[in-house]
Chains A and B, each alone.
Chain A
Amino acid sequence: GNSVTQMEGPVTLSEEAFLTINCTYTATGYPSLFWYVQYPGEGLQLLLKATKADDKGSNKGFEATYRKETTSFHLEKGSVQVSDSAVYFCALTPNNNAGNMLTFGGGTRLMVKP
């Protein structure tokens, strides 16, 4: 079946540091890949996505590249801010026209200190 594995947190960084959160996946075919963010007390928000190999999704300074050869979709940001503190979820949908339900990773908590 489909699965998503994320690096365990928490990840603690100082403001303006470089961020990488690793995500690898197992899926048949050509899934779409997503990063969702969950701020404290709020619901999941779509951060970025990529739908085919070598696509780069980007939003709010975050980016991730769909690497089919390594089955990875690592999230990066060049300079984090305190306001980026949240839980980040990597997810996939199978693109099999059967409903495209999301399979999520376990989440990675990011804490950014001033």
Chain B
Amino acid sequence: DTGVSQDPRHKITKRGQNVTFRCDPISEHNRLYWYRQTLGQGPEFLTYFQNEAQLEKSRLLSDRFSAERPKGSFSTLEIQRTEQGDSAMYLCASSHLDPFFGPGTRLTVL
């Protein structure tokens, strides 16, 4: 399978805990994006990498959120001190031209 993969697929955590998600993009794609999708809504852009450089961050990305793409390949998204409002599907996409999406990580904060 050469698509975008995300791990874990589901995460349940207690409020105040830290969580980290991983995204492995399609190997030849230099652009990588994170989006957040809440129930019944369209995805919203969070952040964007070109190779290892983080070039754009949405104002949705509070200081509790941090993303990295250390070698220009896989990326991680960390949420510190999770809140119930962070419960959502976190989607990763990669592109050379058109964005291709992974299956997402569903986060539930209790």
> Chain A interface (Cβ within 8 Å of chain B)?
4, 34, 36, 42-46, 49, 89, 91, 98-107
Once A43-B91, A101-B33 are accepted as A-B contacts, the answer to whether A89 and B102 lie under 8 Å apart by CB is no
Q: Is there contact, CB below 8 Å, between A43 and B42?
A: no
List residues of B (52-110) whose CB comes within 8 Å of A's CBs.
55-56, 91, 93, 95, 98-104
Contact B42 A106 (CB under 8 A): yes
Bound: A99/B33 CA distance, A = 9
Mostly, the B contact residues are strand
Q: Is the CB of A99 within 8 A of B56?
A: yes
Q: Taking beta carbons and an 8 Å cutoff, which residues of B are in contact with A?
A: 4, 31, 33, 35, 40-45, 48, 50, 55-56, 91, 93, 95, 98-104
Residues of A within 8 A of B33 (CB): 101-102
Interface residue from A34, A99, A105, A107 paired with B55 (Cβ < 8 Å): A99
B41 with A106: CB separation less than 8 A: yes
Q: Contacts A98-B56, A99-B48, A101-B56; is A107 near B42 (CB within 8 Å)? A: yes
Nearest-Cβ distance from residue A40 to partner chain B, whole angstroms? 12
Whether A99 pairs with B103 at a CB distance below 8 angstroms is no
Interface centre among A4, A34, A98, A100 (most CB of B within 10 A): A100
**CB < 8 Å neighbour of B95 from A43, A91, A98, A100:** A100
A101 and B91 in contact (CB under 8 A), knowing A43-B103, A45-B101, A46-B100? no
The smallest C-beta distance from A95 to any residue of chain B, in angstroms, reads 11
* Inter-chain pairs besides A99-B48, A101-B33, A102-B99, 13 sampled, C-beta below 8 Å: A36-B101, A43-B104, A44-B93, A44-B101, A46-B100, A49-B98, A98-B55, A99-B50, A100-B95, A101-B45, A102-B43, A102-B45, A105-B42
